[in-house]
Amino acid sequence: MMGRVLGLCAAGLLVACGDAPAPKTETTPNTGPEAAAAPAEPYPETLRRRASAVFGVLPDEAANANNPVTEEKIVLGRMLYYDPRLSKNQDISCNSCHALDAFGVDGEATSPGHQAQRGDRNSPTVYNAALHFSQFWDGRAADVEEQAKGPVLNPVEMAMPDEESVLVVLNSIPGYPPMFAAAFPDDEDPVTFDNMANAIAAFERRLMTPSRFDAYLEGEASALTPQEVAGLEAFFETGCIQCHVGPTLGGISFQKIGRNVPYPTDDQGRFRVTGNEPDRFFFKVPSLRNVAKTGPWFHNGGVDSLPEAVRLMGKHQLGQELTPDQVETIVVFLGSLTGEVDQVYIATPELPESGPETPAPDPS
């Protein structure tokens, strides 16, 4: 779904809370009793071990005990994700703005919704998003289950008038009620708005994109090129890891856009949700997974060059004027975060046919 308020760092890329200490470039000393016999660990391995501790490894699934993933939910959720009949004019699906065959984005600064309306925030990728600590740029949804409900009822996005209207559509399509019953066998009335969202979320919880970077973190040092390793070192040295950490390299905190140098934006960020002054201009730090494929970048999609995004974040978030070489080497490293998409898992399903009672599109 469009989720335009769901990319790159605290409304941009590489936002950092402060400078991180630069990793040492000499070999690691061995001061134990076996020092005379054991050679010092080479620096590249020290860097790899440090990166493994900071980022961890991307899991196969973002599990939720309150919504266990089952094959029945996945099959149903995949269909719902692709089904435009969940929109008022039956022309917009989740996949319209989060295209699974394009790394989960539509490549636009902001996405067109009902009657070509556009919001004011970029639609970020859905891949790996279930691992984030909250959803939307302002964090107003706790998880993908809650997030999946928002765009369907948003008048600018899919524009369905209310939950009941969604249920009328779902119940009117003969193929859906049996699928809901299979996915939610313990529910007396399984076709509900919550279950629609739970099925979509279950499907999304396995939208993971492991990359060569994960192989590197797990011990395969040759998985990254020397240039990418140098970019990883620069990523540490410039302080990017202060916010871009964990398996998704982000998505676990809010940060202020323009922390060191004010960033020109009228968007008040999380303040629009909480009304708390300390939240003004704060946004969720997005994941850097697949970042080379998910532009344009920042909360408003206002930057269409990844090197420029890196340069601007160095200035506004780190308070540094990054050199062209620093920008270039960080961008090279970011390319190693482009992951593998399971083409079978995301294959467009054959949707169940509409029934005679299925409401017609409403272009109003």
Residue 121 — left, alpha, or beta (φ > 0 → left; ψ -120 to 50 → alpha)?
Answer: beta
HSE toward the beta carbon, residue 205, CA cutoff 13 A: 24
Q: Which amino acid is at 16?
A: A
The answer to whether the beta carbons of residues 205 and 64 sit under 8 Å apart is: yes
Q: Which long-range contacts (CB under 8 A, 24 or more apart) does 195-198 make?
A: 196/80, 196/86, 196/148, 196/152, 196/166, 196/170, 197/145, 197/146, 197/148, 197/149, 198/67, 198/73, 198/145
Task: Select from 280, 310, 216, 291 the least CA-distant residue to 249.
Answer: 291
Is residue 26 annotated as part of the catalytic site, yes or no? no
- Report how far apart, in Å, the C-alpha atoms of 352 and of each of 97, 178, 306 are: 22, 11, 40
Q: Which two tokens stand for residue 249?
A: 């390299």
HSE toward the beta carbon, residue 27, CA cutoff 13 A: 8
The answer to whether the beta carbons of residues 141 and 150 sit under 8 Å apart is: yes
Of 145, 157, 204, 233, which residue is the catalytic one? 157
Active-site positions read: 157
